[in-house]
Structure 1
Amino acid sequence: MNLALWIAAGVLAAVALTGGYSKTFVPRKRLAEIQGGGWTADVSDGFVKTLGVLELLAAAGLILPAALDIAPVMVPVTAVCWILLMIGAMITHGRRHEYPLVGLNLVYLGIAAFIAWGRFGPESFGG
């Protein structure tokens, strides 16, 4: 179970790193042209960049606290925050009728829920 949780955290961290990098460093107008990025045309640059930074922090928060043994409880806390982010993403894509993206967000939400459950419960870092 511990290995499965580490793999899930690694996969989700890679997703967060990729999304965070693009939202933080790719111009919003360019993001709006990419499939699934149309929502960025409806919000400010600051909002997109803020989401990007939050995703970069999530990537770090899913791995580093446990790997460095510094406040490892932050791993499941980060996973819960990711769940909230995915609920917002599903609402946004649902309003735009981008149902395949809603499904993808649901998969990411499920992975985060698995991490939160496992790290708060049977495979917690607490001892």
Structure 2
Amino acid sequence: MNIVLWITASVLAAAFLAAGAMKLLQPKEKLAASGMGWTEDYNPGAVKAIGLLEILAAVGLILPALLGIVPVLVPTAALGLAIIMVGAIVTHARRKEMPAIVANVVLLVLAAAIVWGRFGPYTFVS
């Protein structure tokens, strides 16, 4: 199960690193034009903040455990991503964007699995 949690964390980290970088580096208008219509409902600072949080969580999913420095940050980062996904689900539900909701639910379940596994039976502390 430890390997499954590492793989899941790696996949989530890659996904959120890419998504966060896109939100952080591209203007809101370009994001909206590329299919992220939800950005129209938020100011540019909020979109950048979401991107930064996603990048920080992606780093937090891997580096603390890899370096053996405060590995409790791994499930904490996963919990942060789960909270972000709940917000994303609410935002997409208000806009009636069902495909995005499905993707957010999948990401939420993956993040919740890391929270459960790393706070629970598969913690890094021996």
Counting aligned pairs with the same residue, the percent is 51
The CA distance in 2 between the partners of 1:42 and 1:91, in whole Å, is 13
Cα deviation, 1:27-78, whole Å, max 9, x if unaligned, reads 110001122x111112111100000100010110000000000000000011
The CA distance in 1 between the partners of 2:3 and 2:60, in whole Å, is 17
**Aligned-residue CA RMSD (Å):** 0.6
The CA distance in 1 between the partners of 2:14 and 2:79, in whole Å, is 17
Displacement of 1:124: 0.1
Alignment of 1:1-127 (within 5 A): 1-35=1-35, 37-127=36-126
What's the TM-score, normalizing by structure 2? 0.98
Q: Which runs of 5+ in 1 are unaligned?
A: none
Displacement of 1:114: 0.6
What's the TM-score, normalizing by structure 1? 0.97
Q: Which runs of 5+ in 2 are unaligned?
A: none
Displacement of 1:15: 1.0
